[in-house]
Chains A and B, each alone.
Chain A
Amino acid sequence: MTAPDPDRLNDLGKRLDELQTRQAAKTQRQAPSQSSIAFRFATELMAALIVGGGLGWGIDWLFGHFGFHTRPAFMILFFVLGAAAGIRNVMRAAHEINAEIAKGRTSDNGNGKETGS
């Protein structure tokens, strides 16, 4: 077996490096698409309203069980709290998305494998 030609090996190394940088640039973390952000916010808001209203309804039911007739009061209160929680969720989600975008900008040729979206 003859020793490998150093020139050819160097050439191969160079070409591999080029390919790798090109691949890394391609798989860089991108900001999530507009529609997926919108969908995320919508589900966060809706889920909070459902949970809030549901909790209030449950508390009313429980009180009704023990003979206190509070029927719509807690449901209204918790629906409003649920709306507030929904806004809080959306703020938190926006915070997460911003952090994700910022992370993608700083790590220029960082590990491309971790970047899913």
Chain B
Amino acid sequence: MNLNPMEQFAVKPILGLDKPLFEIAGHPIYFTNQALLMVIVAVVSSLFLTLAVKPNRLVPTRGQSMAEMSYEFVAGMIHSATGEDGLKFFPFVFTLFIFVLCSNFFGMVPGSFTVTSQIAVTFALASLVILMVIVVGFMKHGIGFLKLFVPHAPWYLLILLIPIEVISFLTRPISLSVRLFANMLAGHTMLAVFGGFVVALGSAGGLLSALSIAPMLLIVAIMLLELLVAFLQAYVFAILTCIYLNEALHLHDYH
């Protein structure tokens, strides 16, 4: 019996597709469990959000009101963080939020795979956000966007402060991706460790077997906590995207 709690994060080819699908510059590309889960998340979330609002009733069905609530939730979040002109980025932030949220929730299904527990995925998402911020900033302010890195200070301090501000800006994709990745990784590892306790105690025999109910109950509690974390981390990812976009749109708010 393999009780390695990190085994659940292994990326491996599935569906008997042991041969690479194709090659890019000599690197074989496989269809892995991670790719499958990403496809499922993308397909299910877009199908749900489009089909649920299809009936378009005045008194919404359960599905329709869920879709409308998520729409209003994200719209309210963007509006409060960036103001009126931030709403242009609604499709971008909404897609990110729904993708991260659905990945987190699909990862909670026992036996599935958590896409957001891979640093490659979260870092790709965070890089996308930062690239978006840089492009938006330069498009809106031109070269004046670089004023973001120049705080109000005497010139002799600027020699020191500008590199600090640049490094501080460059840390954003890292802190954004590490936060999501570490939270999901820690939660799922904890679940697997307590799952291991249940198996180990249960197979010990005698009185110890009866004790295995204790970690089992704990798993239920942790599971609930993890559902909260899954939502919270998606929320944090989206709200930080809004905050960064806000800084690119209105330079003066950076301090």
Residues of A within 8 A of B (CB): 39-40, 43-44, 46-48, 50-52, 55, 78, 81-82, 84-86, 88-89, 92, 95-96, 111, 113-114, 116-117
> Residues of A contacting B182 with CB < 8 Å?
39, 43
With A48-B171, A50-B174, A88-B164 given, is the CB distance from A114 to B76 under 8 Å? yes
Interchain CB contact under 8 A, A114 and B80: yes
Question: Which B residues are CB-close (under 8 A) to A39?
Answer: 179, 182-183
> Does the CB pair A55–B76 fall under 8 Å?
no
**Contact between B80 and A55, CB atoms less than 8 A apart:** no
Is the CB–CB distance between B236 and A51 below 8 Å? no
A40→B179 contact, CB < 8 A: yes
> Could you tell me the distance in whole angstroms from the C-beta of B239 to the nearest C-beta in chain A?
7
Shortest CB-to-CB span from A27 to chain B, Å, is 12
Q: Is B232 an interface residue (CB 8 A)?
A: yes
**Interfacial chain A residues near B80, Cβ < 8 Å:** 114
Taking the nearest CB of chain A, how far is it from the CB of B167, in angstroms? 4
Whether B72 and A48, one on each chain, are in contact in the complex, defined by CB atoms closer than 8 angstroms, is no
Residue B168 CB within 8 A of the other chain: yes
**Interface assignment of B35: CB less than 8 Å from any CB of chain A:** no
The CA of A55 and the CA of B73, in the complex, are separated in Å by 38
Assembled-state Cα–Cα distance A51/B179 (Å): 16
The residue from A51, A82, A113 contacting B72, defined by CB atoms under 8 A apart: A113
CB of B139 within 8 Å of the partner chain: no
* Chain B 138-158 interface mask (CB, 8 Å, partner A; 1/0): 000000000000000000000
A48 to B160, CA, bound (A): 15
Q: Is there contact, CB below 8 Å, between A55 and B179?
A: no
The prevalent SS among residues of B at the interface is helix
> What is the distance, in angstroms, from B100's C-beta to the closest C-beta of chain A?
13
Verify if B42 is at the interface (C-beta below 8 Å from A): no
CB distance from B164 to the nearest CB of A (A): 5
**B164 pairs with A117, CB closer than 8 A:** no
Which residues on the A side are within 8 Å of B175 (C-beta)?
Answer: 43-44, 47, 89
Give the residue of B163, B165, B171 whose beta carbon is less than 8 angstroms from that of A44. B171
A104 to B168 alpha-carbon distance, docked (Å): 28
Q: List 14 A-B contacts (CB under 8 A).
A: A39-B179, A43-B178, A43-B179, A47-B175, A48-B168, A48-B171, A51-B174, A81-B164, A85-B164, A86-B171, A89-B171, A89-B175, A92-B168, A117-B235
A113 with B76: in contact, given A47-B174, A81-B167, A85-B164 (CB under 8 Å)?
A: yes
**Complex CA distance for A40 and B243, rounded to whole angstroms:** 15
12 new A-B contacts, CB < 8 A, other than A39-B183, A51-B174, A55-B167, are: A43-B178, A46-B178, A47-B175, A52-B167, A84-B160, A85-B164, A89-B171, A95-B255, A111-B76, A113-B69, A114-B76, A117-B236
Assess whether B17 is interfacial by the CB under 8 Å rule: no
Does B170 sit within 8 A of A, measured CB to CB?
A: yes
Chain B, range 152-195, C-beta contacts under 8 Å to A? 160, 163-165, 167-168, 170-171, 174-175, 178-179, 182-183
Q: A43-B178, A43-B182, A44-B175 are in contact. Are A113 and B167 (CB under 8 A)?
A: no
**Chain B residues, Cβ within 8 Å of A55:** 167, 170
